Structure formats: C-alpha cells, structure tokens
C-alpha cells in the first residue's frame, strides 16, 4: 500500500526530524559523558550525570522510539518496502538494535545519576563512553545507508518484483493486436 503523496511527505519529514534529533541528542550526551569522565570538579561531574539522565529520558529515548515507529510506517507506505531492499532491512535491524541497547543502558544512566547525587566523590564513577561512541557510530552508519541506498534486493524483494512483473505482463500482451500471420 503506497501512501498518498502529502501524507508520505509528512511521514518522511517526521522520520528525518526524529532521526536527526536522535543523532544530535546522542552528540550532546557524548559531550556530557566526556565531561563526567574527565572533569576534576565535583559539582561539574554531578551536573553532567544529572544532565545525562535528563537527556536520555526526555530526548534520546522519545526520539529513538519515534524514529523507529515512523521509519517502519514510512517503509511500509513506500515502494521501498520494509523487507525488499537490503539497505532498508539493515537500517531497520541497526535501528532496533540501537534502540534496544539504549533502553537497557537507560537503567545504567539513571543509576549513575543517582550514585552521583548520593556519592561523596562522583569523579570515581565510570562513564558510559563505550555505549555513547558505539551508539553514535551505529547512527552514522544508518545515516550513510539512508543517503547512498546501496543496491540489492532481498529474496522477498526479488519475489515481489517478479510477481509485479508477472501481473504487468498479461496486461501488456492483452493490449497487443493478435498476430494474424501465424496461420
């Protein structure tokens, strides 16, 4: 089912905005994470941990979940489909993976923020740099796939393409004049 053009543009715009927002929020989170790990000022470290929690809970998680859902709607409502092209399938898998890791990591971020508030010296707390950088890399890979759209159909895509061609073939041959020279 292909979406009407106006609705498709609204869905695509929402997907791009939430995806870019997710990427931007991860960059902001990374800056806070680096600050929490490297700063020698106790109040700065406490503030960074508190801001990391707010950024994750109220920016990154909502943007990620919205991006996933709107991306699925977008794929299902366009000719690209959700499972027809490898680049769309890889994007879907990477996005779901990133969102899942994010949801798991949210507990760690909240725990670090709580420990930072109650700890005498929050500078001893570990950071989440591995996940911050990893999440950023995954989102950048997804963005590259969105821009370059590498060729390649999945088996499902090939089957759907062949079915579509088979449906079009009889319609084309029915419109042709009969061959009278064959008698």
Q: What is the pLDDT of residues 83-110, one digit of tens each?
A: 999 999 999 999 999 999 999 999 999 9
Domain count, the chain: 1
Please give the pLDDT value at position 177: 53
φ/ψ region of 152 (left if φ > 0, alpha if ψ in -120 to 50, else beta) reads left
Assigned domain for 111 exists: yes
- Domain limits for position 128: 5-171
Assigned domain for 9 exists: yes
Assigned domain for 40 exists: yes
Q: Give the three-class secondary structure for 43.
A: helix
Q: Within a 13 Å sphere around the CA of 181, how many CA atoms are in the beta-carbon half? A: 1
Assigned domain for 53 exists: yes
Tokens of 22: 């997710």
Assigned domain for 182 exists: no
Q: What is the pLDDT of residues 54-89, one digit of tens each?
A: 999 999 999 999 999 999 999 999 988 999 999 999
Q: Which residues pair with 149 in a beta bridge?
A: none
Assigned domain for 145 exists: yes
- DSSP secondary structure code for residue 153 in this structure: B
> Is the pLDDT confidence value at 183 over 50?
no
Q: Which residues pair with 85 in a beta bridge?
A: 153
Confidence of residue 28 (pLDDT cuts 50, 70, 90): very high
Query: Rounded to whole angstroms, how far apart are CA atoms 134 and 140?
Result: 10
Assigned domain for 178 exists: no
> Is the pLDDT confidence value at 138 over 70?
yes
pLDDT averaged over the chain? 92
- DSSP secondary structure code for residue 82 in this structure: S
Query: Rounded to whole angstroms, how far apart are CA atoms 65 and 67?
Result: 5
Assigned domain for 29 exists: yes
Record the pTM.
0.85
């Amino acid at each position: 089912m292909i979406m009407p053009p106006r609705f498709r543009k609204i869905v695509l715009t929402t997907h791009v905005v939430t995806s870019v927002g997710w990427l931007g929020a991860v960059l902001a989170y990374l800056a806070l994470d680096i600050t929490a790990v490297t700063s020698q000022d106790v109040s700065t470290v406490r503030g960074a941990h508190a801001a990391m929690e707010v950024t994750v809970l109220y920016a990154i998680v909502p943007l990620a979940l919205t991006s996933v859902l709107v991306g699925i709607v977008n794929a299902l409502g366009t000719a690209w489909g959700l499972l027809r092209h490898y680049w769309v399938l890889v994007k879907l898998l990477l996005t779901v993976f990133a969102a899942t890791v994010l949801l798991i990591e949210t507990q760690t971020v909240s725990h670090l923020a709580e420990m930072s508030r109650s700890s005498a010296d929050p500078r001893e707390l570990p950071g989440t740099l591995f996940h911050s950088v990893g999440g950023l890399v995954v989102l950048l890979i997804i963005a590259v796939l969105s821009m370059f759209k590498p060729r390649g159909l999945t088996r499902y895509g090939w089957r759907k393409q062949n079915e579509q061609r088979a449906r079009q073939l009889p319609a084309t041959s029915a419109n042709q004049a009969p061959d009278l020279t064959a008698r």
